[in-house]
Structure formats: C-alpha cells, structure tokens
Amino acid sequence: MPRPNILLIMTDQQRWDTLGCYGNRTIETPNLDWLAAQGTVFTHAYTSTPSCIPARATLITGMDPWNTGILGMGRGQGPMGGGFEHTLPGELARVGYHTQGVGKMHFHPQRALNGFHNTVLDESGRAESPSFVSDYRQWFAANRTGDYGSTDHGIDWNSWMARSWHAPEFLHPTNWTINESIKFLQERDPNRPFFLKTSFARPHSPYDAPSYYFDLYNQKEMPKAFVGDWATVHDVPKDAANPDAWHGVRTDEEIHRARAGYYGSINHIDHQIGRLLTELKKSKLDQNTLIIFTSDHGDMLGDHNLWRKTYAYEGSAHIPMIVRLPASMRKSSADVVDQPVCLQDIMPTILDAAGLEIPDTVDGASLLPLIRGESAPWREYVHGEHSTCYAEIQEMQFLTDGYWKYIWLPRVGTEQLFDLRRDPGECRDLSGEAEYRDELLRWRHRLIDVLSPRNAGLTEGDQLICQAGKPPIVSPHYKVRIDRWEQEKAQ
C-alpha cells in the first residue's frame, strides 16, 4: 500500500472553542466541521508551551519543551534555531516524501528549512535581518492595486484593537497562504507522496478580517469574556492604556470588536481551507491524504482581563485538534476522543500513519490507538509551562486532564485549581477552599513529580520553591542543541 499524503493545517493563536464542531454556535466553520465529521475531534488538546516559537518547536520535533530547550519567548530563551536530531519534515523527506512549508514557520534563520525541501514564507512583521523580505510581502508589493502597505490599517501585531482589512480581499495573507498551498499541489513531484504544512498567520492579531467577515460578526451577539473574581490582579489601568497591552480592563465594545475580528478571521480561514480541500478532491488526492488541523496556542481575547497567549488558562493553552485519516485507515475511527493530548503527539502520529519508526527523541505518542478506540495506555494529564515573557506574574507551570486544571505561578509562589467540568471559564479558583484541599495536594504532588528530576531548583522534597528574584530557568538541553547546531554549520 502506498504511503499516505499528509496535509498539516495550522492556524496561529486559535483557541479551542472557536469551531462549530467544538460546540460554538456563533461562528461559521463549515469546512472544518465537515472535516471533523469525517475524522476525530480531540476535545482535550493542549499546547505545552503556549506561545509561537516554543509551541512550533514541540510540534516539529515531538519533544517536550524542556527537551527542545525552549521554555518561552522571554529571558533566557533563544530563537528556535537548528540542531534538532530529528524533525517531522526531515524524517518524511528521508524516506521519499516531497516536503513543503507554506506560511508562518518561525524558524531561525528565517530561511532555515529544518527538514523541509522548501518553504514559502509569511512571517507577519518579523524580519531578523535587513535583507529579509518574506515571500508574502514580495507578492503583496507586486500585486497591490494602490499606494498602500500590508499594515496600513494601523493595527499592530499584538494589539487588542480591531478593524476590517484595508486592502482588497485577494491580498490578505490568508488567501495567499492557500494560493501557495494549491500551487504546491499542482506543481509537486507526482511520483512521491507529499507532506504539506499550510500554516496561517491568522487569527493571531491584528484582528483584521476582510470586511465581509468582520461586519458579519460585528453585527452578531458575541460570547462575553470570562472574568473570575481572582482576575482583578490583571486590572492595571496604566498598562491597559497601551494599544498592545497584554492585560487590563477593556470596554465591552472593545472586546466585542476584537472578537468580531477574530471570529471573522477564523471564518475567512475556513472558507479558504475549503478551496484547498476542493483542490485535493479535484486532483484525486483526497482519499489517500491524512489531514490534521490544529493551532500552536490560543488567545485570551479579554478573558480574565488578559490578551494574547503564554498563560495556562483555557483561552491560551486549550487548542483545537482534528485528525482525519486516509480512507483506507478510517474504518473504525472514533468520532471524539477525550484523553489529554498535545502538540508533541502530532509528529509520532504522522510517522505511525506513514509506517515509519518513531525516533527515541520523541516525547509524544501516536494518536492512532486512541482514534481506533484501542485500550492502549495513555498519559493521565498534560504538563505545560512558560517562562517569564511579559511580566513575572505571568510565568507558569500547569497540569490538566481536561477536567481539572492545576496552575503554579512560580515567580509569585501562588497556586490555582479549577474544576473545568463545572467551571469551563475558570472563574472560580478552588485552591483556597478547604473542601478541595486533597484535590489541590494531589495535583501539586503530581507537578513535583514532573519537575523534581530536572534538579533546577523548582522543588525541594515535597515542596514547590518560589522563584521570585531568582535568575530565569534555562533548560540545559538548549545549550546542547545550540552547540550541535554550531558544529553542523561549521562542517
């Protein structure tokens, strides 16, 4: 049997609860809902490091963040770089796959391939060197219909502000990403199976959906932000005045407009994904293609007076994940899987589906047994973490099984506990309530068990050690990998 083609569709900063197949009755995502109806929806999928670079490093390597050496995007962390022994596109290329990355890769240097045969890039506003101009920016400049740039709407890359896209819709990066993906399908080597990663730069801010989509949701009643009584710590008016503020109270109107732009971007992405799926069918590639849809992390969208990502809370860490197997493997697949899964599981799943050996460096596990309904052993919970990025109060460690969530904020030494079944918005912190003391201790000891082997000063015996005033934690695996990368470049 020929190896399956593989299409990995990834959005940027899309929270889990923004698809119809996850129960959202406001948003329109017919193509992804249809994909879900043919495949398996993972209800408890999480990103172990909820920001762009570390999340993408775990996906491309199948490794936990401690082992990639990238614990965040703040102090003590470097760019993704190279030096990985095994990458997903690299393993597939090695056995004959034609591999292509389209859109946002977030590699360093930006033209690095990390195992891909080729990448065609939309790097949003990032230009790490004066000579770098992304493929999207070059295309936009060549095809624009007037004297304007791609960011002339005035909304920055991390802003809570929103407005509709200012240029003709065909120039939007979402359209370009699908155009380039379709072009690859049409021009690829037809004698080899393909691996295509289609990686959108939206719905990450700017919340700039084309006017059709922005207006559609701006006129609708949008879900309100969850705000727990514990969230007053993020009500900092001086900080909130910043157009790129990561925390602070905003008006209902501002949150509504942000969510309209965000939902509109997702609806726009879904329609463009429909074009790609149509091309697969037209090219007679659909039946032998494994399709996975996911995101690197979510977006708080004003929940608990927070914006952007990097937090342990559901809006930031809980992501969508849909797997649709090739037709020949789809005979006994589950519609829904509620075991806790993470981005590290994508690489071994793809390699398993392709009949390839999974490298020893991979920490994730193949999802195929769960999809098939097999009674295989599985993890009890997902562990996640993020180093200091915006402020010390934001550094975190978390554990969740999708039903309970335990959070430790090591720089301030506080804990939180949420019952996600009764309180999916995490509005009631149970950590200080006597009747939940045993539950709190159970999860705290689990985190101690995870962190103790690191010998990084995070634990001592049966205690978690507050990190206030201490240097940032840096994984020793980061230096090992960078040293390997430098040796490779010198050869």
Three-state SS letters, 246-315: CECCCCHHHHHHHHHHHHHHHHHHHHHHHHHHHHHHHCCCHHHEEEEEEECCCCCCCHHHECCCCCCCHH
| 106 has catalytic annotation | yes
Residue type, 213: Y
* Per-residue pLDDT tens digits for 233-276: 999 999 999 999 999 999 999 999 999 999 999 999 999 999 99
Domain boundaries, the chain: 5-380, 384-490
Catalytically annotated residue among 52, 204, 271, 304: 52
pLDDT tops 80 at residue 1: no
pLDDT at 485: 85
pLDDT at 75: 61
- For domain 384-490, the CATH class is alpha beta
pTM of this structure: 0.97
DSSP label at residue 216: H
Domains 5-380 and 384-490 share a fold: no
pLDDT at 81: 80
Catalytically annotated residue among 106, 204, 247, 386: 106
CA–CA gap between residue 264 and residue 202 (Å, rounded): 10
pLDDT at 76: 54
How are strands ordered across the β-sheet holding 118-121?
118-121, 98-103, 194-203, 5-12, 289-295, 321-324, 40-42, 336-337
Percent of the chain having pLDDT more than 90?
90
**What are the helix (H) ranges across 15-96?**
30-38, 52-61, 65-68, 88-94
* Per-residue pLDDT tens digits for 60-84: 999 999 999 999 986 656 678 888 9
- Mean of the per-residue pLDDT values for the chain? 95
| 304 has catalytic annotation | no
Are the C-beta atoms of 376 and 369 separated by less than 8 Å? yes
Neighbours of 119 (CB within 10 A): 22
Are the C-beta atoms of 388 and 68 separated by less than 8 Å? no
pLDDT tops 60 at residue 191: yes
Indicate the SS3 state at residue 127.
coil
Neighbours of 414 (CB within 10 A): 16
pLDDT at 409: 98
* Per-residue pLDDT tens digits for 101-158: 999 999 999 999 999 999 999 999 999 999 999 999 999 999 999 999 999 999 999 9
pLDDT at 268: 98
Mean pLDDT across the stretch 49-60? 96
Indicate the SS3 state at residue 197.
strand
Fold held by 5-380? Alkaline Phosphatase, subunit A (3.40.720)
| pLDDT higher at 393 or 173 | 173
